[in-house]
Amino acid sequence: MKAYTIERYGKPGEVLQLMDVEKPKPHGSEVLVKVCATAINDYDWCISTGKPRSYRLIFGLFNPKKKMRIPGMELAGIVEKVGETATKFNIGDAVYGDISNYGFGSFSEFVCIHEKALTLKPKEMSFEEATCIPHAAMLALQGLRDVGALKEKQHILINGGGGGVGAFGLQLAKLQGVHVTGVDTGEKLSTMKMQGFDRVIDYKTEDFTKSKRKYDLILDCKTNRSLWKFLKVLTPQGKYISIGGKSGKLLQMIYMGPLVKLVSQKRLHMVMLKANDDLEFINKLYAEKKIDCVVDGPYSFDQLPWAVQRFGDGLHHGKIVISVNEP
């Protein structure tokens, strides 16, 4: 089978190599899935480039660890074989999921993964749409609903609003009657306006942390600024919620959180993602046409290295999706 492998860190177009590798066989509770579509995530950029360098403590100091050399953490596909003790799916079932709790490898034509990493794909949802959902929609849902306890008529800001989490976050917030400001740059801004953001800010021309506007909640998809700046634009009981970003800023939040709690009613939170948790809720909203999937692409399998670079350059709107196999 064909799969993209990484032997060293560097530019995605140079280090992501399409290779012939042995087709895996499912054992125990694993299932073999024919990958119909996959999506690009921050992990894929980081494992390709080896940046931030602190991540190499996880990926491998000088080169990616062997078990991480086929990237990819989201997929939608069809079950082709099942392991001896696998009972959740039948051959031919259409499935999807964020597989990162059990491994990686969706940048390939086939992947073996524990059956718990997957769930049945709704029939009305395409494979390209399905692969958009597990990671980004869960981060948005868990950030806004579970951690943020979003309420009607609040004013929120999504930093990095043009990406996958931002697209789902906007839609979930609008279902609650919330005023949403989105921060990003470039061609994304006009698309974000069309999508329904009440206000958009180009971070290259305006620093929202110096504004007099206050927000009840900030969902930060970037975590690339000093947290003190975010605190200045929160309402007295406002919440700052990070879904990930630069490791130094995340460490800063761990140390600052208790201190902020002592001196104010503002709160700092970091979403610890529960992969695939409550996908049924998102599926229900999709079936009721209350949310949709914002797809950048889909692009062909041979464009995958270019697509990872596109992600790293921040040029995408919504989720970058790659078509791998025909259903």
According to CATH, the superfamily of the domain at 136-270 is NAD(P)-binding Rossmann-like Domain (3.40.50.720)
Give the residue extent of every domain in the chain. 2-132+293-323, 136-270
Are 183 and 152 within 8 A, CB to CB? Answer: no
Are 160 and 258 within 8 A, CB to CB? Answer: no
Residue 286: name the closest of 156, 98, 123, 166 by CA. 123
| pLDDT at 57 (0 to 100) | 79
Candidate CATH numbers 3.90.550.10, 3.40.50.970, 3.90.180.10, 2.40.340.10; the one for domain 2-132+293-323: 3.90.180.10
Strands (E), the chain: 2-5, 17-20, 30-39, 74-82, 94-98, 110-114, 119-120, 155-159, 179-184, 199-202, 215-220, 234-242, 267-270, 295-300, 319-323
Q: How many CA atoms lie within 13 A of 132 on its CB side?
A: 27
Return the percentage of the chain with pLDDT > 90, whole number: 84
**pLDDT value at 18 more than 70:** yes
| pLDDT at 224 (0 to 100) | 79
Residue 145: name the closest of 289, 286, 291, 278 by CA. 278
Are 218 and 238 within 8 A, CB to CB? Answer: yes
Tens digits of residue pLDDT in 71-113: 999 999 999 999 999 999 999 999 999 999 999 999 999 999 9
How large is the C-alpha radius of gyration of the chain? 20
- Say which DSSP state 318 is in: B
Helix (H, G, I), strand (E, B) or coil at 44: helix
State the Cα–Cα distance between residues 240 and 131, nearest whole angstrom: 28
Tens digits of residue pLDDT in 26-37: 999 999 999 999
Q: Where are the alpha helices (DSSP H) in the chain?
A: 12-15, 42-49, 56-59, 127-130, 133-141, 164-174, 188-195, 227-232, 247-263, 279-287, 304-312
**pLDDT value at 248 more than 70:** no
Written as one letter, the residue type at 62 is F
| pLDDT at 259 (0 to 100) | 77
Tens digits of residue pLDDT in 169-227: 999 999 999 999 999 999 999 999 999 999 999 999 999 999 999 999 999 998 878 88
Q: Which two tokens stand for residue 211?
A: 């504004």
Model confidence band, residue 250 (pLDDT cutoffs 50, 70, 90): low
Lowest mean pLDDT among 31-45, 106-120, 228-242, 257-271: 257-271
Are 218 and 192 within 8 A, CB to CB? Answer: no
